[in-house]
Amino acid sequence: MTDYFGMESRSNHILTACTVATVMVHLDRLESVLPIAGVWFVTSTVAEKFLGMSHGDSAAIFGGLLAMKLVPMLVKRVVTIAATFPLALIFKYVSQILPKYTIDESNFYICDGATTEIANKRKQALLELSERWAKKYKKCIDFSGELKKMMSDVRFISGRCFFAFNDVVGSYLDPSMALEKTDRMNVTDIDGNVAMDISGSYGVNVCGYEKYKDFIEEGWQTAKSKGLFLGSLDSIVLDNISRLRKISGQDEVSFHMSGTEAVMAAVRCARWNTKKRMVVTFGGAYHGWWDGMQPVVGNDRIPNDVLCLKDMKQLSLTVLALRASEIAAVLINPLQCFHLNQAPPSDIVLSGTTFPAVGETPGYKEWLHQLRKVCTENGIVLIFDEVYTGFRLHPRGAQGVYDVQADIITYGKTLGGGLPVGVVCGPKNLLARGDPKKASRVNYVIGTFAGHPFVMSCMNAFLKWLDKEGTKPYDAMHSNIENFIKSTNSKMKKSGYPVELASWYSVWSMKYTRASRFHWMFQYYLRDAGVNLSWVGTGRLLFSLDWQKADYDELQGRILTACESMSQGGWWEEPKANIKQKIGVEMGCGVFKNLIS
Distance CA 384, CA 412 (A): 12
Give the pLDDT score at 6.
44
pLDDT beyond 80 at 59: no
6-44 pLDDT, tens per residue?
444 444 455 555 555 555 455 445 455 556 566 656 666
Q: What is the pLDDT of residues 109-119, one digit of tens each?
A: 999 999 999 99
In sequence order, what are the beta bridge partners of 410? Answer: 385, 424
Write the burial class of residue 544 (CB in 10 Å: 0-12 exposed, 13-18 middle, 19+ buried).
Answer: buried
Q: Comparing 105-206+473-583 with 235-341+363-434+454-469, is the CATH topology the same?
A: no
- How many Å apart are CA 515 and CA 496, to the nearest integer? 14
Domain boundaries, the chain: 2-83, 105-206+473-583, 235-341+363-434+454-469
Cβ–Cβ contacts within 10 Å for residue 444, how many? 8
Rg (CA), the chain: 28
CATH of domain 105-206+473-583: 3.90.1150.10
Q: Is the CATH code 3.40.50.720 the one for domain 235-341+363-434+454-469? A: no
Single pTM value for the model: 0.87
* pLDDT band at residue 89 using 50, 70 and 90 as cut-offs: confident
Mean pLDDT of all residues in 394-399: 95
Average per-residue pLDDT for the chain: 88
Give the H or E element holding residue 383.
Answer: strand 381-385
CB 350 within 8 A of CB 522: no
DSSP, residue by residue, 10-35: -HHHHHHHHHHHHHHHTTT-GGGHHH
More confident residue, 86 or 332: 332
The closest alpha carbon to 170, from 98, 104, 120, 124, belongs to 104
Q: Are 543 and 508 in contact (CB under 8 A)?
A: yes
562 membership: H or E segment, kind and range: helix 549-568
Q: Starting at the edge strand that comes first in sequence, how are the strands of the sheet with 327-332 ordered?
A: 252-256, 422-426, 408-412, 381-385, 327-332, 278-282, 306-309
* pLDDT value at 355 more than 80: no
